[in-house]
Amino acid sequence: MGRKQTAWAAAALIGITSVAAAVPAQATAPTTTQTTACPTGWGSRAKSGGAGTTEPLTNVRAGRHACYDRLVIDVPGAGKGVGYRVGYVDRLHQDGSGRPVPVGGSAVLEVRVAAPAYDPGTGAPTYPGRVGRPLPGVDLTGYRTFRDTRFAGSFEGDTQIGLGVRARLPFRVTQTTDRVVVDVAHNWTGSR
């Protein structure tokens, strides 16, 4: 092969490579987004269970999940589980006084835990909540369902919390030996 033929062959190879690079790759099959199947069937009726304890409540925290927002009430040392009653109310009223406690949101869940927010032996508070105020340390920024939390107080061994939500949505309550967990779904359909 002469010099001219080699130059032409090289130029042709570069041209073919350039054309191949400019041609888009063959279309691939469309990608499908995988969706998480969210639990359904929780309902919005009041739920209760467990028994009372003299072990005091020490913390309340919240978390965001793909299908629901979660509120966790910690009662360390409760042993056999913590009693609870959770249900929607038209308005939250403080136990003992009956005073209304304003809670933001389109619907209000009253969360009652059968544990005091104080040491039964000394009366000293074990949780820093103040009546009518948001729950200490619970920041609901970016939550899809939760809108507000309010501490309603602790009376005769029960602690009362108001949970403001976006709408009257399905929820579930689970109980372990040392906590009560309230999950409120983002919607009724079970989609994300």
The reply to whether 117 falls in a domain is: yes
- What pLDDT is stored for residue 149 in this prediction? 98
Residue 130 lies in a domain: yes
Task: Yes or no: say if 112 and 86 are a contact pair by the CB < 8 Å rule.
Answer: yes
Q: In the predicted model, is pLDDT for residue 124 greater than 90?
A: yes
> Is 135 domain-assigned?
yes
Q: Is residue 154 part of a domain?
A: yes
Q: Which domain holds residue 151?
A: 47-185
Residue 105 near residue 148, CB atoms below 8 Å:
yes
Residue 136 burial (CB count, 10 A)? 13
Q: Which CATH number is 65's domain given?
A: 2.60.40.3500
Output the six-digit token pair for 31: 């990608």
Is pLDDT above 60 for 128? yes
Residue 190 is assigned to a structural domain of this protein:
no
| Average pLDDT score over the chain | 85
The pLDDT tens digits for 131-185 are: 999 999 999 999 999 999 999 999 999 999 999 999 999 999 999 889 999 999 9
132 in any annotated domain: yes
**Residue the block writes with tokens 């109980």:** 175
Task: Give strand ranges (E) for 94-178.
Answer: 107-113, 146-155, 158-165, 171-176
Query: What mean pLDDT do residues 91-96 have?
Result: 93
- What is the spatial distance between Cα 73 and Cα 67, in angstroms, rounded to a whole number? 20
* Predicted model pTM: 0.79
Q: How far is CA 109 from CA 23, 82, 96, 103, 170, in A?
A: 59, 18, 19, 9, 11
Residue 163 domain-assigned (yes or no): yes
Read off the pLDDT of residues 39-65 as tens digits, 9 standing for 90 and up: 778 999 999 998 888 899 999 999 999
Asked whether residue 73 carries a pLDDT value surpassing 60, the answer given is yes
**Number of structural domains the chain divides into:** 1
30 in a structural domain: no
Question: What pLDDT shows up at residue 53?
Answer: 84
- Residues 180 and 46: their CA atoms lie apart, in Å, by 15
